[in-house]
Amino acid sequence: MRMSTSTEVIAHHWAFAIFLIIAIGLCCLMLVGGWYLGGRARARSKNTPFESGIDSVGSARLRLSAKFYLVAMFFVIFDVEALYLYAWSTSIRESGWVGFVEAAIFILVLLAGLVYLVRIGALDWTPARSRRTLVNPETDSPTNRHMQ
């Protein structure tokens, strides 16, 4: 006797369905248990951060330069590039010349982006005042500090 396609699907995937039901049930049980067993105090001290008995001094907010975020974004971009190129390199025989041309275009686009970042000064960490003093306005070239 032949089973129908829906019965075959259920027969093959019943363990995964049971796993999903148990996982979702366990998550719900933990959430309800935390709500039920948790305290209900709404005192003023509940809204302040715990400092291990030491009074906090100053603000916890730090101002960071946007350059740190730029470096992090550049790292992620070029790290993802490395992942794509690694995946491409493992299938280079199957992709042939078309895959090679696509990878070359991908690398050229990223290199164009890197050249653009260098040209606008996004990778230059010296302050703007220091950059102006390092360039001689008459010759438009960096000054030799040893000669002065």
pLDDT tens column, 4-25 = 677 777 778 888 889 999 999 9
What pLDDT sits at residue 135?
54
Q: How far apart, in whole angstroms, are the C-alpha atoms of residue 113 and residue 80? A: 14
| CA distances, 126 to each of 140, 142, 144, 146 (Å) | 17, 14, 17, 20
What pLDDT sits at residue 140?
53
123-128 own/partner pairs: CB under 8 Å, 24+ apart: 123/74, 125/67
What pLDDT sits at residue 145?
47
Is the per-residue pLDDT at 138 higher than 60?
no
pLDDT tier at 50, thresholds 50, 70, 90? low
pTM (2 decimals)?
A: 0.44
Is the model more confident about 110 or about 42? Answer: 110
Q: In the predicted model, what is the mean pLDDT of the chain?
A: 78
User: Are 95 and 88 a contacting pair, CB within 8 Å?
Assistant: yes
Q: How far apart, in whole angstroms, are the C-alpha atoms of residue 77 and residue 72? A: 9
